[in-house]
Structures are given as C-alpha cells and as structure tokens.
C-alpha cells in the first residue's frame, strides 16, 4: 500500500506497545571480531502506548572498545 508524503509507514492498528505484538525488532550486524567485544545488548521498547513513539524495538549493544 503506497504512502502519501509525510505519512508514517508503521501499522498503528497493531498497537505493538499495548498488545506486545507486532514489534519490528532492529538488529546489529557485526564481524566475528567485533561480536567478541560485545559486553551486553538489550532491546528497548516503551511499556505503554502513551510513551510509544515507534513500533521498532531499538537494539543497543555495548562493545568493549576504547577510543584513544
């Protein structure tokens, strides 16, 4: 289904935040060397529709990298 200019491409009728269904989980793709440096990862998401600004579950990964 095509979208008009400025229209969101998410499916608000799924109400992923309220129903805990229909989430679009993002991901990190890493080489084997970088993956070995991963310390922790989590999928962030709002717990209520009023706090939900996206139906994406943003993935955050902490890597043990020191920048000089």
Element (H or E) spanning 45, and its range? none
Q: What is the mean pLDDT of residues 19-36?
A: 84
Q: What is the mean pLDDT of residues 4-21?
A: 62
Confidence of residue 46 (pLDDT cuts 50, 70, 90): confident
Query: What are the Cα distances from residue 6, in Å, to 1, 2, 20, 56, 61?
Result: 15, 12, 26, 18, 31
Confidence of residue 27 (pLDDT cuts 50, 70, 90): confident
Domain boundaries, the chain: 12-63
Q: Which residue has the higher pLDDT, 50 or 42?
A: 42
């Amino acid at each position: 289904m095509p979208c008009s200019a400025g229209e969101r491409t998410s499916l608000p009728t799924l109400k992923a935040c309220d129903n805990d269904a229909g989430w679009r989980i993002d991901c990190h793709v890493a080489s084997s060397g970088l993956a070995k440096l991963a310390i922790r990862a989590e999928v962030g998401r709002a717990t209520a529709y009023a706090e939900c600004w996206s139906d994406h579950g943003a993935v955050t990964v902490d890597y043990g990298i020191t920048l000089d």
